[in-house]
């Protein structure tokens, strides 16, 4: 591997990916549970650490009666974990079979000088047994191995993959993780890795920066190089007063960002501290502008753009260095919320010309942002502009020439969501509002159906940027206002997440 190689390392799951142990684990759990497992048991058995499955068995009353002296009733989770370790290790020690193509791929990577790491939710004792068995079959030595014993949290959290990348001294964005379960895929993607999924039991769908294959027999280092690097996933998210209306909002924000697969997040309504606190928890770079706007980036920020003391409404940007090779300017914007065109159209029946006239303040702010963006970027630099514009799109509502989004289009910016989903009837992409099915304010409009609309955007200038996929994101089924404190989704907006290919 050279410094110019887009593939810095390949990180392999073990059970079900490199070796055919899923069946052995299933047998071990059945033995300890004292009953046959069913399809309904899969989420708590496959791709989970031993401790999770043991706790699940304990809560379900699984396993034989406790045998320790003086014990009564069913075994504890700790006793079940010990039994699971023992049963699984016995089966692994009797012999494991490599998955088809695994040894050939490991050998080819070693020949090309690409480091390989093992990242598993199995304990160290089991991992070392498997590594010894693979070595006896001629597999090259792994540069690093990370097990359930080596991190405080294991899959589906990103910690194991991040630990492997730190040990190798590589950027997760330039690594490919090879996984066979949804749990493992979630862990690798949360860490920022590109994923090659080879499902062994549970199905795994395709997604940005994720390739799904039936197995490893046709996988080569060249194919993995083509997958690695050269991607950027950007998220736009209004945090809703920093998240304050929802309990435990900071933890829920972190969960959402990790699950999104985003590399850069443009934030609005940060309440002053959210950008820094989220960045510190993620271990990312950040730029806070004024008290309302912020940018998070897993890639280094090499320049901060725009007014650092911007007011509640306006725009701010940062230049991020992706894979050490691509500089991209990413801006976040928040435009005034009043007067709100969808209300004036739905509740007041204003005609198109009046609706357009009432967009003047937002239009002026966006044009000022577009001028700053153009000055900073020059003629060639890739630009992404995200934000809560508080205005509908002319691409969604052709009966009104909504001027804010038209101004962005005239400045050369493309709407990534509409590129990916050209039909606004089939894919409306509403971002306002997952918690307001009816109008939330008092007065004559109280209780009327809330206009659902797309007012949050990811725009780009197509200079070395190609849209791979774009989607809206909401976790769970949020309860409507005012009963929002317990919602898993800590915002009154849906987020927008777009994956780009860079330099092609």
Q: How many residues does the chain have?
A: 504
DSSP 88-153: HHHHHHT---BPTTHHHHHHHHHHHT--EEEE-SS-HHHHHHHHHHHHHTTPPPPSEEE-TTSSSS
Report whether 366 contacts 405 (CB < 8 A): no
Distance, CA of 433 to CA of 145 (rounded, Å)? 45
Q: Give residue 138's pLDDT.
A: 93
112 labelled catalytic: no
Beta-carbon contacts of 137 under 8 Å, excluding residues fewer than 6 positions away, are 98, 103
**Which is higher by pLDDT, 209 or 330?**
330
Classify the C-alpha dihedral 192-412-432-427 as positive or negative: negative
Taking every pair of Cα atoms in the chain, the longest distance, rounded to a whole number of angstroms, is: 84
**185, 191, 193, 198: CA torsion to nearest 10:** -10
Lowest-pLDDT range of 219-233, 279-293, 306-320, 480-494? 219-233
Q: Which of 15, 150, 171, 263 is catalytic?
A: 15
Report whether 190 contacts 205 (CB < 8 A): no
Q: Say whether pLDDT at 70 is over 80.
A: no
Q: Give residue 4's pLDDT.
A: 55
Q: Say whether pLDDT at 65 is over 50.
A: no
pLDDT average, residue stretch 92-121: 92
- Strand partners of residue 319: 303, 329
- Strand partners of residue 332: 316, 386
**What values do phi and psi take at 303, rounded to 5?**
-160, 145
Taking alpha carbons only, the member of 305, 431, 436 closest to residue 378 is 305
Report whether 404 contacts 359 (CB < 8 A): yes
**Which is higher by pLDDT, 311 or 60?**
311
Q: Give the global pTM.
A: 0.70
Q: Give residue 61's pLDDT.
A: 61
Average pLDDT, the chain: 91
Distance, CA of 442 to CA of 172 (rounded, Å)? 49
Q: Give residue 342's pLDDT.
A: 97
Q: Say whether pLDDT at 63 is over 70.
A: no
Query: Which helix H or strand E contains 374, and what residues bound it?
Result: helix 360-377
Q: Say whether pLDDT at 21 is over 80.
A: no
Q: Which of 13, 150, 171, 329 is catalytic?
A: 13
Q: Say whether pLDDT at 36 is over 70.
A: yes
Taking alpha carbons only, the member of 140, 109, 113, 154 closest to residue 15 is 154
End-to-end CA distance of the chain: 23
DSSP 262-331: -SEEEEE--TTTHHHHHHHHHT-EEEEETTTEEEEESSPEEEEES-TT--SSEEEEEEEEETTTEEEEEE
Distance, CA of 239 to CA of 267 (rounded, Å)? 7
Report whether 123 contacts 17 (CB < 8 A): no
**297, 298, 302, 303: CA torsion to nearest 10:** 0
Q: Say whether pLDDT at 143 is over 90.
A: yes
pLDDT average, residue stretch 462-483: 93
Distance, CA of 33 to CA of 28 (rounded, Å)? 9
Taking alpha carbons only, the member of 260, 104, 133 closest to residue 191 is 260
Angstrom distances, CA of residue 408 to CA of 14, 317, 373, 427, 473: 48, 16, 11, 21, 23
Distance, CA of 233 to CA of 399 (rounded, Å)? 32
Report whether 193 contacts 224 (CB < 8 A): no
Distance, CA of 260 to CA of 498 (rounded, Å)? 10
20 labelled catalytic: no
């Amino acid at each position: 591997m050279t410094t110019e190689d887009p593939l810095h390392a390949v990180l392999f799951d073990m059970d079900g990916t490199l070796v055919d142990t899923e069946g052995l684990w299933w047998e071990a759990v059945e033995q300890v549970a004292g009953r046959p497992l069913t399809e309904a048991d899969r989420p708590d058995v496959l791709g989970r650490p031993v401790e999770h499955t043991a706790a699940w068995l304990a809560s379900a009353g699984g396993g034989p009666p406790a045998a320790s002296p003086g014990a009564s009733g069913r075994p504890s989770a700790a006793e079940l974990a010990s039994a699971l370790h023992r049963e699984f290790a016995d089966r692994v020690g009797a012999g494991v079979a490599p998955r088809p193509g695994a040894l050939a791929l490991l050998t080819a990577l070693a020949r090309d000088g690409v480091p390989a790491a093992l990242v598993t939710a199995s304990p160290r004792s089991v991992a070392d047994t498997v590594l010894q068995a693979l070595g006896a079959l001629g597999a090259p030595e792994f540069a690093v191995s990370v097990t359930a014993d080596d991190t405080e949290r294991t899959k589906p959290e990103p910690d194991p993959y991040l630990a492997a990348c730190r040990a190798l001294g590589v950027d997760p964005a330039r690594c490919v993780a090879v996984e066979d379960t949804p749990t493992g895929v979630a862990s690798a993607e949360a860490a920022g890795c590109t994923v090659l999924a080879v499902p062994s039991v549970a199905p795994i769908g395709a997604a940005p920066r994720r390739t799904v294959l039936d197995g490893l027999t046709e996988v080569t280092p060249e194919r993995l190089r083509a997958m690695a690097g050269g991607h950027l996933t950007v998220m736009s998210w209004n945090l809703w007063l920093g998240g304050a209306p929802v309990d435990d909002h900071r933890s829920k924000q972190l969960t959402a960002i990790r699950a999104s697969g985003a590399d850069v997040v443009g934030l609005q309504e940060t309440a002053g501290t959210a950008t820094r606190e989220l960045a510190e928890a993620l271990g990312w770079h950040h730029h806070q502008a004024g008290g309302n706007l912020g940018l998070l980036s897993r890639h280094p920020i090499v320049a901060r753009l725009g007014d650092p003391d911007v007011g509640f409404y306006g725009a701010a940007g940062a230049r991020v260095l992706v894979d050490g090779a691509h500089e991209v300017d990413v801006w976040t914007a928040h435009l005034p919320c009043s007067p709100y065109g969808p209300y004036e159209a739905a509740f007041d029946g204003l005609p198109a010309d009046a609706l357009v006239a009432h967009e003047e303040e937002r239009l002026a702010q966006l044009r000022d942002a577009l001028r700053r963006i153009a000055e900073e970027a020059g003629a060639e630099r890739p630009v992404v502009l995200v934000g809560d514009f508080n205005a509908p799109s002319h691409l969604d509502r052709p009966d009104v020439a909504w001027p804010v989004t038209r101004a962005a289009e005239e400045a050369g910016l493309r709407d990534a969501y509409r590129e990916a989903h050209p039909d606004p009837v089939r894919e409306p992409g509403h971002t306002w509002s997952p918690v307001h099915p009816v109008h939330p304010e008092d007065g004559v409009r109280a209780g009327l159906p809330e206009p659902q609309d797309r007012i949050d955007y990811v725009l780009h200038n197509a200079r070395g940027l190609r849209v791979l996929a774009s989607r809206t994101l909401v976790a769970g089924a949020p309860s409507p206002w005012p009963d929002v404190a317990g919602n898993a989704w800590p915002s009154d907006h849906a987020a927008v997440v777009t994956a780009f290919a860079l330099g092609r």
